[in-house]
Structure 1
Amino acid sequence: MILEPQPATQAATPSYVAETPAAAPEAIAAYYARKLAFETDCWDVHASLASGRIDFVLLDVRSPAMFALSHVPGAQNLPHGKMTTHRMSAWPSGTLFVVYCAGPHCNGTDKAALRLATLGYRVKVMIGGMTGWADEGFDFETGSSNATA
């Protein structure tokens, strides 16, 4: 079945959707371009890892114990509290980091992103974290062999 575009109907009062007018297309484009500069998603991380086009360091910012139970393949474990100038000097200043935590209910990624940025590193948050990775049906690894903490 092919859906045909339907004209918007004009109500006497706007809907709850339209009562706050949408931004101009230019403002919308600028907003989303800016938003994507700060975050990535599980699908893009997975596709990058699978293709071998890995131009970022993937950091699991949860505890070493949680990392050992399950983590995204290829991730290194580095809790945000252990991100120090000395520890981060192992990576060149232009390194792009992608950080993740348990999921949308966890602010560990925000704390890690803030810490990395204040140390002068580029960083993106992998939205969804472990919860998002599971929702996509992607596999996890176990063990602490990749742990840096």
Structure 2
Amino acid sequence: MSPVSAIPAADSAVALAHFSTLLSFETDCADVHAALEERADPVSVDFVLLDVRSPALFARGHVPGAVNLLHGKIVASKLVEYPANTLFVTYCAGPHCNGATRAAIKLAQLGRPVKVMIGGITGWLDEGFQLAIASEA
């Protein structure tokens, strides 16, 4: 018996429920990229892409159309410009960073719909997608 099969797989019905539910919590870089590519204006997509890394990292490169807001700064007053049903998609540096999850928790606590973009910037670059660079002010 291998380490893979040592723990039996879940029943198919349980697996279906689990994996279907998983997609209600997360999206991936390819799906975000496709959504952004479908729209000429990144602001017109049906979600707000939230980069929760530091402003310095954001300035060095971020997903086009993303808004920079540290997870520690997510409060109701910062979200007033967005309708209550706005879907937020959070991301951070990558799989080694839990900032996107922390941001998702804060958004959920505020009653906001939220998903995490798995992979973060690392995943975005691994897919071969380009970053936007913040213009010098």
TM-score (norm 2): 0.91
In the other structure, the counterpart of 2:113 is 122
CA RMSD, aligned part only? 1.4
In the other structure, the counterpart of 1:73 is 64
Stretch deviating more after TM superposition (44-53 or 69-78): 44-53
Determine the C-alpha separation between the residues in 2 that align with 1:105 and 1:80.
Answer: 16
Determine the C-alpha separation between the residues in 1 that align with 2:50 and 2:35.
Answer: 15
Q: Percent identity?
A: 57
* 1:12-63 C-alpha deviation (Å, 9 max, x unpaired): xx33322221111111100001111100000000001001272100010111
Q: Read off the aligned partner of 2:24 and give its amino acid letter.
A: A
Where do 1:1-149 residues align within 5 Å? Answer: 14-52=1-39, 54-143=45-134
For the pair shown, the structure with the greater C-alpha radius of gyration is 1
Q: Read off the aligned partner of 2:107 and give its amino acid letter.
A: L
In the other structure, the counterpart of 1:5 is none
In the other structure, the counterpart of 1:4 is none
Secondary structure, counterpart of 1:126 in structure 2: strand
Determine the C-alpha separation between the residues in 2 that align with 1:124 and 1:42.
Answer: 12
Q: How many residues align?
A: 132
Higher helix share: 2
TM-score (norm 1): 0.84
Contact 1:64 1:144 in 2 (8 A): no
Measure how far apart 1:70 and its partner are. 0.5
* 1:116-139 C-alpha deviation (Å, 9 max, x unpaired): 000110100000000000000000
